[in-house]
Amino acid sequence: MKIVLPDWDTVSANDVGFSVFSKYGEVICCGPTLPEETAEKIGDAEVVLCNKTLITREVMEQCPNLRYIGLFATGYNNIDLKAASEHGIVVSNAGEYSTQAVVQHTFALMLSLAGNLTTYDNSVKNGCWERSETFSWFPHPVHELWGKTLAIIGFGSIGRGVAKVADALGMKVVVSTRTTPQNCPYPVVSKEDAFRMADVLTVHCPLNEQTAHLIRQETLDLMKPTAFLINTARGGIVREQDLADALNSGRLAGAGLDVLEKEPMDPHTPLKHAKNCLITPHIAWSPLETRERLIGIVADNLEGFLAGTPRNQVN
């Protein structure tokens, strides 16, 4: 059996290996794969294990031996699921591998905004504290999270993890989600009320037709001018020009983003130089321990498929 990894460099920085897959067949590991190269690289392989490689209907039609697509990801919007089902291809995702890491990064962004850490770090390194007449130099606002309202959009494993940490910090949690969760200890509110109530609004939902550009001028206008926005989900949930306008005009106090609509980042994105906009390069999922867990889940999924009992199948 031939197994192709068309974008292994998105999973490993030469710190984790793919030998775990070798017991299942011949492994062909590729560097970055352009859309026009995908079908050629997959070729006659039966299995593809990928992260963000776009696998369309056309690719499937050119790769008739393909029977299984295993994702190094929770999201699967890069796979044409309808076409996969029509071609008898099983698609499995990696489920909840990154929950702990994304929760951690969500609060890293939130705490950095609340403490104005980037501004203070830059100021200190530029000599401002050295020139201070007092022991404590605090011209830039710093805020407590205790007692603030955290509105969570999406209440899967990551949303629940975020709520648990927010509890520990003394925040008031409200939840907005497509399906009402059972035994939820927090108030469940509409999306509009979530935007209105939030001192911090954090997004933990998939990107789909219902959530594309969920964060846009109309919803941003509902928010308090003192509020922060956190997005560690998918960049397409935010209309970037609208968010930049809100930040630059002072209609929103700050944003912490780990994802953008185009990745790698478009150098012309209006968010690049927006006021109080903290951007990290899609790293919330990437701790070494997290990626090691991810590889284990993908291997287990493949083993289940080969045994005739697919795990985490999404189509």
Tell me the per-residue pLDDT of 242-281, one tens digit each, with 9 for 90 and over. 999 999 999 999 999 999 999 999 999 999 999 999 999 9
Q: Assess if residue 167 is contained within a domain.
A: yes
Structural domain containing residue 153: 99-279
Whether 197 is covered by a domain: the verdict is yes
Average pLDDT of the residues in 31-49? 95
For residue 236, the model assigns a pLDDT of 96
Write down the catalytic residue from 160, 204, 239, 282.
282
Q: Which of 105, 234, 239, 291 is catalytic?
A: 234
pLDDT digits (tens, 9 = 90+) for 172-220: 999 999 988 888 999 999 999 999 999 999 999 988 899 999 999 999 9
**pLDDT value at residue 162:** 98
Residues 225 and 129 in one domain: yes
Distances (CA, A) of 52 to 38, 69, 216: 11, 12, 25
CA distance 177 to 104: 21
| Radius of gyration, alpha carbons of the chain | 22
- The pLDDT of residue 75 is above 90: no
Residue 311 lies in a domain: no
Looking at the fold, whether 110 and 120 belong to one and the same domain comes out as: yes
pLDDT > 90? residue 22: yes
Residues 6+ apart with CB under 8 A from 5: 18, 21, 27, 28, 29, 30, 48, 49, 50
Number of domains in the chain: 2
The pLDDT of residue 182 is: 87
Question: Can the peptide bond before residue 206 be classed as cis, meaning omega within 30 degrees of 0?
Answer: no
Q: Specify whether 137 is located in the same domain as 222.
A: yes
Taking residues 224-231, report their average pLDDT: 98
From the list 40, 86, 144, 263, the catalytic residue is 263
CATH number assigned to the domain comprising residue 79 = 3.40.50.720
State yes or no: is 234 an active-site residue: yes
Q: Is 300 a residue whose pLDDT tops 90?
A: yes
196 is catalytic: no
pLDDT in tens, 112-131: 999 999 999 999 999 999 99
Q: In this structure, is residue 314 part of a structural domain? A: no
Average pLDDT of the residues of the chain: 96
pTM of the model: 0.92
What pLDDT score was predicted for residue 33?
92
Same domain, residue pair 32 and 72: yes
Active-site annotation holds for 131? no
Asked if residue 229 and residue 110 are part of one domain, the reply reads yes
Question: Looking at per-residue confidence, does 181 or 53 come out higher?
Answer: 53
Classify the C-alpha dihedral 130-136-141-144 as positive or negative: positive
Q: Report, as an integer, the average pLDDT of 20-37.
A: 94
Using CB atoms within 10 A of its CB, is residue 276 exposed (0-12), middle (13-18) or buried (19+)?
Answer: middle
